[in-house]
Amino acid sequence: MADQALRGNKLTRIGFKHGGAYGPLRGTTAGGVAKAFRGEAGFKQSQALQNKILKHNVKRIQKTPDKKFKYNNPETEKVKSLRTGRVHEVRKKDPVKGSIGKKTYIQDWKRYHHASQPKGNK
């Protein structure tokens, strides 16, 4: 029990943080919990952090070999639901050239990254 401690009625590891994100945000309190972004300056700081995360991930995707993205087909086809009978569009499953798949993957990643923002800010 050298690196374990009894916390309440649970046996936990010493030196590990409990809770969610705490590091890359505005700063941490003594307990290691993230402080919230506050005011207009905090909002801008939050947006800068989000842009940094986005750019880092896009750069990581661009370094990945093209052949890993051959199943990210941008084309869609109309499919009729067997249960409801409604028609909706889904992505095709056919393989495509890797560079096309990579562009599609990056485009999707950006769309889901910005999903919570208002439509004009994307």
Q: What are the residues whose beta carbons fall under 8 Å from the beta carbon of 95, sequence distance 6 or more?
A: 70, 71, 73
Mean of pLDDT values over 104-117: 84
d(CA 21, CA 119) in angstroms, rounded, equals 27
pLDDT of 50 strictly over 70:
yes
Task: Convert the pLDDT of each residue in 14-43 to its tens digit.
Answer: 655 554 444 455 555 555 555 667 778 888
Q: How far apart are CA 122 and CA 120, in angstroms?
A: 6
Other beta carbons less than 10 A from residue 25's beta carbon: 17
Q: What is the pLDDT of residue 111?
A: 86
Q: Is the pLDDT of residue 66 over 70?
A: yes
At 10 the pLDDT is: 62
- Whether pTM exceeds 0.75: no
Q: pLDDT by residue (tens digit) across 74-98?
A: 999 999 999 999 999 999 999 999 9
